[in-house]
Structure 1
Amino acid sequence: MCVAYGLSEGGVTEERRPETPAEENGSAAVFVVLGKQLKLLRERAGLNQREFGSLVGYGPDLVSAVERGVRTPRPEFLQKADEILQAEGLFTAVIPQVEEAMSRARTRHPEWYRGYAALEAQAVSLHDYSTMGVLGLLQTEDYSRAVFTQRHPPLDEETIEKRVADRLSRQQIFEQWPPPEFSFVMEQAVLERPIGGPKVHKEQLRQLLRIGRLRNVQLQVMPTGRHEHPALDNSFSLLTPKGKEQVGYMESHGYPRLITSREEVRILTARYGIIRAQALNPHESLDLIDRMLEER
């Protein structure tokens, strides 16, 4: 059974504004103020977002999202931030509100995507093969913004910023414990395509290196020079939600499909296994990305 969820992010269908978790329980203002306080104390400590992020275990894009109030900070983040910035309980005091927001949060994505996003948030394993661009789950803020800015027909600025914030919010899955198992295979052409320009491209390559070095992540590159290839038709994802059967997901020309048919999922799983076998292994893949970064 294949279920269509409407037009994808590139389509022209009008959508309602997705709510953030904080907006749903009326605590949005708390996180906006919290973000401003975090930025003020971080700057007083003489730390930029990258430096501070390395101390608390967040990337610079996620620190930026917290400071802008568009991402709910996790309690562990607030504990570390309080210690590092010597906030004397300023951040730990709001942990109960954070836990309340997280417990009542719904997915904040457009309706057509919410079914998959809800499954992704529960995933115990996720595997993806990408052919055209970096998977949204792996994108930096600037790369994501460049992707949405280049969409045609064009999106308005408000919609672009909503989409970017929503995409970054999905990356909380990397902070879950116990951590899900991830594997990502991307075509070499995806790494070579400088979406957003040289600066954005370099930061995206650094992001892939950071994520690819996580213990629960296997990142592989399919070399362009391979003579054989089992999946030239489309990108796809395979995920297993907790306590549920594995499902597939793909988008084609603006139309997303959630695939629940056991036979179709079996075929995608077999195809993904062949793709992984033909790709560079994870160590070779990270070495390739490292060399590409040095050349830019």
Structure 2
Amino acid sequence: MQNTRLRAGYASGAALSRALTLDDSYVRKFESLERQPPRDFAERCDALMNTGGQLVEAWDDVDWSAAPDHPDWFKFFAGLEARALQVREYSTDRVSGLLQIPAYTRALFRFAKPHDDNEKIERGVAARIGRQARFLVARDGPFLVVVLDEAVIRQRVGGPLVMRDQLQHLLDVPKRYPNIVIQVTPFALGEKTGATGGFTLLELPDGERWAYSESMSRGHAVSDPTTIEKHIRAYDRLRAEALSAQDSARFITSVKRELVNVTPTSPIAVNWRPPRDWKTASYSQGDGGQCIEAAPGSAAVEGVVPVRDSKDRSGPELGFSPDAWSAFVAGIRAGEFGTV
């Protein structure tokens, strides 16, 4: 709705409201999801802005009975975000809610709200994922820049499988939506990431600007110009120190490689702990060589034998069942694979 309004030349919701001879707050409340618009409102907007019935079609596609289930303290920010033309965010502990996949969000909610039933959790997941719709559009979506601390990339929220899919989503989104930029601040930056925690900057129509941050159970939104300028300078310095968008994608890909061998049926996906007793093939003569390392002792704990490249000990690890590993070793001893 907001992007259509701007393309039609109405700089604010109030301007469109006046053109429709409605109260100045009418359009704003719809755009911020504070109330459900009647269908004839969409029809009048289509006629006024000559959109060929697009808004009526969009109205018909919305499940208006599924109202967003945001906490009371979050609703004010959600309203601001729903109107924002530009959002710049720095995330230090979790992937931005605007970039989360449902499984990632679900894992967070299940841990944070262990007493909630599945229905309530799913409402919360739907509310968070629903906020993404206006950013994930083919063109003219609000500008979204998200800077993620390296810790966000490495924390395996929901387990290896969920995190693998979440990292892939972070790689896919900027390719599909040019209005979205993702950057990473690596641990190597040290104090250059700043002493502050995560925060969000929003630019709304008519030049309105807000800064937002959260504590454990409440949100803090400020619009004081001096405070906003301070946060903007901090964010600009942060982006200058962060990896470029291209290098950030490479970094995310490198972390994702550690998870590519995880499958739903593998015990490594359920109860993985880094093995401590790696054994190097005797052919390596103790210097790594062109060989592999394995930790067969881990099979007694995790039910899987980890294997890695002796030349790249920080690289990905492959997991094999004990039976498969035993068959492989027996085949080598029997000379079934030949030598190079």
Q: Which residue of 1 aligns with 2:110?
A: 149
What CA distance in whole angstroms lies between the structure 2 residues aligned with 1:96 and 1:276?
40
User: TM-score, normalising length from structure 2?
Assistant: 0.56
What CA distance in whole angstroms lies between the structure 2 residues aligned with 1:107 and 1:121?
14
What CA distance in whole angstroms lies between the structure 1 residues aligned with 2:66 and 2:230?
32
What CA distance in whole angstroms lies between the structure 2 residues aligned with 1:271 and 1:216?
22
- Residue type at the aligned position of 2:75: R
Q: Can you list the C-alpha shifts for 1:27-78, whole angstroms capped at 9, x where unaligned?
A: 9xxxxxxxxxxxxxxxxxxxxxxxxxxxxxxxxxxxxxxxxxxxxxxxxxxx
Q: Spell out the pairing of 1:1-296 with structure 2 (5 A cutoff).
A: 96=56, 98-99=58-59, 108=68, 109-151=70-112, 154-176=115-137, 177-213=139-175, 214-296=177-259
CA contact (8 A) 1:107 1:118 kept: no
Shift of 1:103: 12
What CA distance in whole angstroms lies between the structure 2 residues aligned with 1:273 and 1:98?
37
What CA distance in whole angstroms lies between the structure 2 residues aligned with 1:239 and 1:25?
25
User: TM-score, normalising length from structure 1?
Assistant: 0.64
Q: Can you list the C-alpha shifts for 1:125-184, whole angstroms capped at 9, x where unaligned?
A: 110000011111110000000000011564333321111010010011224552211111
Gaps of 5+ in 2: 1-32, 40-53, 260-340
CA contact (8 A) 1:24 1:105 kept: no
CA-based RMSD = 2.9
The share of aligned pairs that are identical, in percent, is 30
CA contact (8 A) 2:140 2:179 kept: no
Shift of 1:104: 8.1
What CA distance in whole angstroms lies between the structure 2 residues aligned with 1:198 and 1:153?
21
What CA distance in whole angstroms lies between the structure 1 residues aligned with 2:36 and 2:82?
18
CA contact (8 A) 2:87 2:201 kept: yes
> Of the two structures, which has the highest relative contact order with CA contacts closer than 8 Å and spacing of 6 or more?
1
CA contact (8 A) 2:203 2:209 kept: yes
Q: Which residue of 1 aligns with 2:5?
A: none
Residues 1:253 and 1:231: Cα distance change in structure 2 (over 3 Å):
farther
CA contact (8 A) 1:249 1:257 kept: yes
CA contact (8 A) 1:249 1:259 kept: yes
Q: How many residue pairs are counted as aligned between the two chains? A: 209
Q: Which moved more, 1:94-103 or 1:121-130?
A: 94-103
Residues 1:292 and 1:233: Cα distance change in structure 2 (over 3 Å):
same
Structure exhibiting the larger radius of gyration computed from Cα positions: 2
- Residue type at the aligned position of 1:166: A
CA contact (8 A) 1:107 1:114 kept: no
Shift of 1:259: 1.2
